[in-house]
Amino acid sequence: MNTKKEFLKSLSIFSSLSDAEINRLAEVTEEFTYKNGDYIFYEGDSPNWLCMVKEGNVKAIKQLEDGKEIILHMFTTGDIFGELAVFDRRPYPASAMSMGQASILKLHYSQCIDLFEKMPDVAIKIMKGMGIKQRNFVERLEEALTARVEKRIASTLIKLANIDPAEDMDECRKNIDLPLTRKDIANMVGTTIETAIRVMSKFQKEGIIESAKGSITILKPARLLEKAEENN
């Protein structure tokens, strides 16, 4: 397991910091361990912490009035979350829940402000990351409103596997090392569990994916890309 200093130094947003600055950052950063299903923070909580995934996986979720859950985003090792609320000082817009055991580093709001004032390039990198998340969210919203479920699930798997359409996909296998259930996938694309099961089973029968407990392997990325690009 990496130390806090080693982990922070590995993050691109802190690449410009000196060893002394990294040491100081590690001193004011708190580390917490969460079990599967633990809440890191709840929607509506005061935005006191910028969070970083040191180990494990986290999902950002919205709970609807009927009890259903929508997964807005998935975070894995090296990802930052909660930064939007820290920037605009409004309550967290969604809850964050661990998937499996997770180690989370937290930087208090007051320390964030001090860091941003002294090192504006760090703030700029975080804001760029926020912009990417916003763009991805808009793309997912457009897909949810206009695309068939099969296309939406294909697009979601592509994003989770970090598949680059520009790469040669002929012999390329991609793993999604997240403990995803069919319910998680359904909640990510806005469909029923039954539909998610049907589509994933179809992809598996066609040899596009291979699914086992705790992981999904994309066997034919090129074919999955075709599914994601098919007209409605």
pTM of the model: 0.75
* Residue of 211, 145, 141 whose CA lies nearest to 182: 211
Q: Tell me the two tokens of residue 182.
A: 């069919």
What is the mean pLDDT of the segment spanning 4-15? Answer: 90
Specify the pLDDT at position 202.
93
Place of tokens 């916003």: 134
Q: Which of 18-27, 155-164, 199-208 has the lowest mean pLDDT?
A: 155-164
Name the E strands within 82-132: 95-108
The answer to whether 129 and 80 have CB atoms below 8 angstroms apart is yes
Burial class (CB in 10 A: 0-12, 13-18, 19+), 115: buried
Per residue in 77-94, pLDDT (tens digit) is 999 999 988 888 899 999
The answer to whether 140 and 200 have CB atoms below 8 angstroms apart is no
What is the residue-averaged pLDDT of the chain? 86
Q: Domains, the chain, ranges and CATH?
A: 4-144 (2.60.120.10), 148-229 (1.10.10.10)
